[in-house]
Structure 1
Amino acid sequence: MRMNLLSAAALVGLTMAAGSAFAADQAQASGVTRAHVRAELQAARELSLSPVTEFNFPYTYEQSIQLQKLTARIEAQNQPVAPQAPVAN
């Protein structure tokens, strides 16, 4: 009985460790930032594509192109402007 309990606990521990390692790997590989997700949600709202339901998803090709362009424009607007060094004459 004790051996079965220890085996079960070890199996659960290994499964959780593998799951967390996999989740961390997936988060790093996606490359999507919170700012990008916010911009995409804002663009979807502006194009009346949000909320996504079974009736308006997947988007048509034209809608997805519009969404990508508007998302890129919103991201560009939200980028902080880097301070420029003063120019000596």
Structure 2
Amino acid sequence: MAVYTPNFPGFGSVMEEAWTKVHSDGEAKGEARGEAKAVLRVLRTRGVEVSESVEERVMACVDLEVLETWLDRSLTVENAEDLFGEE
């Protein structure tokens, strides 16, 4: 099976930049979604109850730095709302 490899005529062309942006944005969103799922999984595995509002907030976040902070906190918090700290 052949694999499509885009061949753009000029380095840095508008088409190349658009294609790269779409694919990198998709990868970033996928990474954020995976990180958000990890936060929720850690909480649930530890027996911490996760409300619908907490789940929605975590899953809506696309900032990887914030999600990494929440993942670290998910290891020790006693209730899910404490993930968000002083935000």
For this structure pair, what is the TM-score category when the shorter chain's length is used for normalisation? Answer: 0.3 to 0.5
* Structure whose CA Rg is larger: 1
What TM-score, normalized to structure 1? 0.35
What TM-score, normalized to structure 2? 0.36
